Amino acid sequence: MLYGKFKFITFVNSQFKIKAMVNINLNSTINFEKTEIIEIKNSVIIINKQDKIVNFSKEEKKFIEKAIKSDETIINLSGFNNLKLVIVNNTEKADYKQAEALRIAGNKVFAESEKHKIEELNILSSNNCKNEILYLTEGVVLSSYKFLKYFKDAEKKITKLKTINILNTKAKQTEIDTLKTLINSVFVARDLVNEPVNYLTAEKLADEIKKIGKNSGFDVEVFGKNKIESLKMGGLLAVNKGSIDPPTFTIVTWKPKNAKNKKPIVLVGKGVVFDTGGLSLKPTAGSMDEMKCDMAGAAAVAGTIKTLAETKTPVYVIGLIPATDNRPGQNAYAPQDVIKMYNGSTVEVLNTDAEGRMILADALSYAKQFDPELVIDLATLTGSAVAAIGHYGIVGMGNAKPEIFDKLKQSGENTYERIVEFPFWEEYDELIKSDIADLKNVGGKYAGAITAGKFLEHFTDYPYIHLDIAGPAYLSSPDKYNGKNGTGVGVRLLFDFFKNM
């Protein structure tokens, strides 16, 4: 598997000289009094829109001032054989919007660097602001992702940019290392999502997660079909009945000795490696074209715990990943079947394309044995979520305390993987009542994203948050630094949440 292990950042120690032009020590900011930024080759300079423009030639200053009046945010001062970009940061915006604007600018910087075949890039801020540089760098590097495994001429397509020098006196090596680890984990999640099902079966997904665990230092246990049958995980087994490939149930554990929480936080990731809809075959043109992404929740869980382990974040987290494909072959489960689930509840199946909630339900029931502090599931669950807010955010709902949900939503803003909280009123429970079983697996024409969440809540007895990532998980056209196809959504969001616990 081609993971995104792109060595993208070389940290420049704060005590250094670059061609005697920039003098930096641990207790000072950059001194440009005697020299100009122009002399640093292939550079990106962040300036604040509200600040006085200094450290540029008269001609450059005049050009920059004119561009700012025209509301330009990226100003190209490049000359022969030298890329020089000025990024204008608007400090009047909210902090999270400033951060996102800089990530988006990073996407444009990357495009320019590739256009000019730049291998080494210098990034600095006129006011020596560390965060500005890190956000811009994040956008540059997230934009650099490419899934090249299946190209015959992959070597020719590799990203040209190899090194980013962060010229700043305040950035710490640990911060740079954390950013590298986080982005590499996003790349791993993207790789998993982008893999086709003729490679990434449920068993192969489990194998890949075991490899990641071995390399990153977290524990992985995989249940095969016999174990799943002995546990009577009826939802997972029902969805798997149409497949010739066996299901898996993967348990991922990161439990450092210095964990802040005694009870674990459990992450549950939907692992449908391909979804045809089963006997309720997906009917519309193109509706199956992106269904290899139906395990994006599983990829997000794996990528998040990878990041936690490699950064040694002191939180106790367990990941549960039920995995199978959903096909109409063999003895596939059918509409009007009644399935007995892992917790003993019975479900009337009215649509076999509502399979994600069937396998997640067993995992949510299984989570009870860990007496969790909180459970969060991530799933590409409903078209209703996409219809409601498009690819611009995550649909969230649940019964966890408002202060917990607020912290998660704050992390959504911090990373711009924003969460829109939907109502979770008890009236919606009425829509999933069945005439012949404990509940049915679809709730009717309206409020589909919510009734899916309410179905899942039936299998919980702990604080619970459901995240429907169907919109942002897989993109049919490029979207800034998220790129095209698998985005790895959820990894940055959850790492920020855990980091700020």
- Active-site residue list: 282, 357
Q: Which of 316, 365, 370, 322 is CA-nearest to residue 343? A: 365
Angle separating helix axes 95-115 and 130-143, nearest 10 degrees? 50
Beta-bridged to residue 346, according to DSSP, are: 340
Whole-number Å distance between alpha carbons of 236 and 224: 12
Three-state SS string over 278-312 comes to: CCCCCCCCCCCCCHHHHHHHHHHHHHHHHHHHHCC
- Residue that is written with structure tokens 């194998």 in the block: 207
Q: What are phi and psi of 221, to 5 degrees?
A: -125, 135
Beta-bridged to residue 276, according to DSSP, are: none
Using CA atoms of 335, 336, 337, 342 in order, give the dihedral in degrees to the nearest 10.
Answer: 90
Using the 8-state DSSP alphabet, how is residue 242 labeled? T
- Count other Cβ atoms within 10 Å, centred on residue 423: 10
Three-state SS string over 97-128 comes to: HHHHHHHHHHHHHHHHHHHCCCCEEEEEECCC
- Residue that is written with structure tokens 């550079």 in the block: 43
Q: Pairing state of beta strands 248-254 and 219-223?
A: antiparallel
- Residue that is written with structure tokens 């122009």 in the block: 38
Phi-psi map region of 80: left, alpha, beta (phi>0 left; psi -120 to 50 alpha): beta
Whole-number Å distance between alpha carbons of 304 and 309: 9
Token digits of residue 360: 């997640």
Whole-number Å distance between alpha carbons of 211 and 206: 9
